[in-house]
Amino acid sequence: MSRTAYIFIFLLLVLFAACKKDKPFYTGSDANLVFQFWPGQPADTVYFDTVFTRLPGTKYPRSVNKQFFIVNRLNNPVKTDITLGGGANSSFRINVDGVSSTDFRDVEIPAKDSLIAFVEVTLEANNQINPAIVLDSIMFNTNGNRQKVMLSAYGWDAIYYRDSLISQNVLWDKTDKPYVIVNSILVNSNTTLKISQGVNVYSSPESSIYILGTLEIEGTEQNPAVFQGDRLQPGYDETPGQWQGIHILKDSKDSKIKNAVIKNAVIGVRVDSLSNNSNPKLHITQTLIKDCSFYGIIGITAPIFAENVAVARCGANGFVGYFGGSYTLRHCTIASGFLGGRSQSALAFNNIQRDEKDRFVRSFPISYSLENCIIYGPLEDELILDIHSGTPPDFSLVDHCLIKTKEYKNLLDINNNLLNQDPLMISPREANLGIRPGSPVIGKSKILAPPVSIDLKGNIRKIPADIGAYEVE
């Protein structure tokens, strides 16, 4: 093609672009804009599910950012005025095509094109028991044609603890409002935090519940105490790593967790060091821990007693005893995989410290007892015993358990253990670790002393009972 032809084509393109740019704005009063979240999904109302009302003196919490498209289907460009109904006093904030304001004038929308509007909300305390609705609207005036998109959010008042040191015994028993932790709390030495049934505790992303004194959680099967991250929007309920978790520190003592649900943490429960008395550092029963980005429960040289505990869908080990310690698990179900990406076993015991080059440094005393437990998942070995040959366990027992293992098959092929059999859990991918009819664990447990008379849900156990945290229903 000749140089003259290229120049001719270039001039045609420039002329076409100029004609397109100079197309007149449509001025008819029938100019209708279309509002949609995506094609085929009208955006009549931008709805925010429950949002905590604002912590005084802060911008916390900010809602999720929602967006919708403002579509011009005409063959000509249009100009529109966009106004936030509540103006500067509105609880909502809007941003149109990258500009934040409450009043936009002569906003241009090209022909057959669209703009994006973003909406956030921060709600003030409403002094009501239940979530209260807050409404506003975004109004559009296009050549005198008035349209609007409604804004709706539910504000939930909360009892806030921000960077809090708890130095007096305290009871959390409010069920009409949640407890919200911002930037962690510390329960001081010789201080007890008691949390009652039906209490909901939400924590911001970097928050931990640190226990230097004593934690006592006392839920019920029907109304457990629930601990989770502070994102209330749909889709976050099962998202791991939304808060740091419960951390029971070195000098704490006598913590008890009963009938709780702990989810969405980085580490569900971490327990540090030996007890200051003859009791376990943590006594945990009737509790479900799930969707942790790392460990469900980790003990570091710690004594832990766990009974009727289920751990599901964790990114690393579901339960790990690290640098020694003493661990007693009765009627527990640890099945932390099933979502992919996990390379660590459901349960691990370790008593070896290594340096950065994986060389031996020292070993620690360790003892463990697993009775009537299910240790299962998609890996070949869901139990790891990283025990130094020079420091064998002071006590070790694996009895009447169902365990998936290749490495320890010969070691564990005693004491009526069921090895490498599918326990037929109801839906481990959905964190439902109950068992279905026909499971090999039904009626295969041994009678313990003291006996375990109920399962995690409070159902009466048969004699002989089923292995694991749940009786078949």
Of residues 211, 276, 194, 282, the one with CA closest to residue 249: 211
Contacts of 471 (CB under 8 A, 6+ apart): 435, 455, 459, 460, 461, 462, 465
Q: Up-side HSE of residue 313: CA atoms within 13 Å toward CB?
A: 19
- Taking the domains of the chain in order of start, what are their residue ranges? 23-155, 158-435
**Consecutive H or E run containing 36:** strand 34-38
Contact 55, 74 (CB under 8 A): no
127 dihedral zone (left: phi>0; alpha: psi -120 to 50; beta): left
- Asked whether the bond before 240 is cis by omega within 30 degrees of 0, the reply is no
Find the largest Cα–Cα distance for the chain.
Answer: 98
Helix boundaries (H) for 271-373: none
Q: Alpha-carbon torsion 144, 147, 151, 152, what sign? A: positive
Question: Given 1.10.10.10, 2.60.40.10, 3.90.700.10, 3.40.630.30, which CATH number is that of 23-155?
Answer: 2.60.40.10
Residue 338 banded pLDDT, cuts 50, 70, 90: low
Looking from the CA of 90 toward its CB, the CA atoms found within 13 Å total 23
pLDDT on residue 21? 52
Pull the structure tokens for residue 249. Answer: 């520190």
Lowest pLDDT segment from 116-130, 212-226, 369-383, 451-465: 116-130
Q: How far apart are the first and last CA of the chain?
A: 80
**Residue 314 near residue 355 (C-beta atoms within 8 A):** no
Angle in degrees, CA 380, 386, 390, rounded to 5: 145
Instruction: State pLDDT tens for residues 147-195.
Output: 999 999 999 999 999 999 999 999 999 999 999 999 999 999 999 999 9
Establish whether the linkage from the previous residue to 423 is cis, with ω within 30° of 0: no
Give the amino acid at 358.
Answer: D
Half-sphere exposure of 188 (CA within 13 A, CB side): 8
Give the whole-angstrom CA distance, residue 80 versus residue 34. Answer: 12
**Residue range 349-362: average pLDDT?**
95
Rg (CA), the chain: 29
Q: Quick one: pLDDT at residue 11?
A: 46
Q: What is the mean pLDDT of residues 114-131?
A: 91
Residue 10: pLDDT band (50, 70, 90) is: very low
In degrees and rounded to multiples of 5, residue 15 shows phi and psi of: -65, -40
Strands (E), 282-382: 282-290, 297-312, 319-330, 333-335, 347-350, 352-354, 360-363, 366-371, 374-375
469, 310 Cβ separation under 8 angstroms: yes
Q: What mean pLDDT value characterizes the chain?
A: 93
**The residue count for the chain:** 473
C-alpha closest to that of 110 among 69, 82, 73: 73
Helix H or strand E encompassing 47:
strand 45-52
How much is the average pLDDT of 337-358? 86
Nearest to 290 by CA among 233, 359, 338, 232: 338
CATH class of the 158-435 domain in this structure: mainly beta
User: Is the dihedral angle over the CA atoms 234, 238, 239, 243 positive or is it negative?
Assistant: positive
pLDDT, average across residues 79-88: 97
Q: Report helix, strand or coil for 276.
A: coil
How far is 275 from 397, CA to CA, in rounded Å?
A: 22
CA angle 136/138/139 to nearest 5° reads 120
Torsion sign across C-alpha atoms 431, 437, 439, 440: positive
Q: Take residue 49 and report the two structure tokens written for it.
A: 């599910």
**For residue 169, what pLDDT is reported?**
98
Which pLDDT band, with edges at 50, 70 and 90, does 232 fall under?
confident
182: which 2 tokens? 């911002």
Predicted confidence band at 7 (pLDDT cuts at 50, 70, 90)? very low
pLDDT of residue 1: 52
pLDDT tens digits, one per residue of 300-323: 999 999 999 999 999 999 999 999
Q: Give residue 180's pLDDT.
A: 97
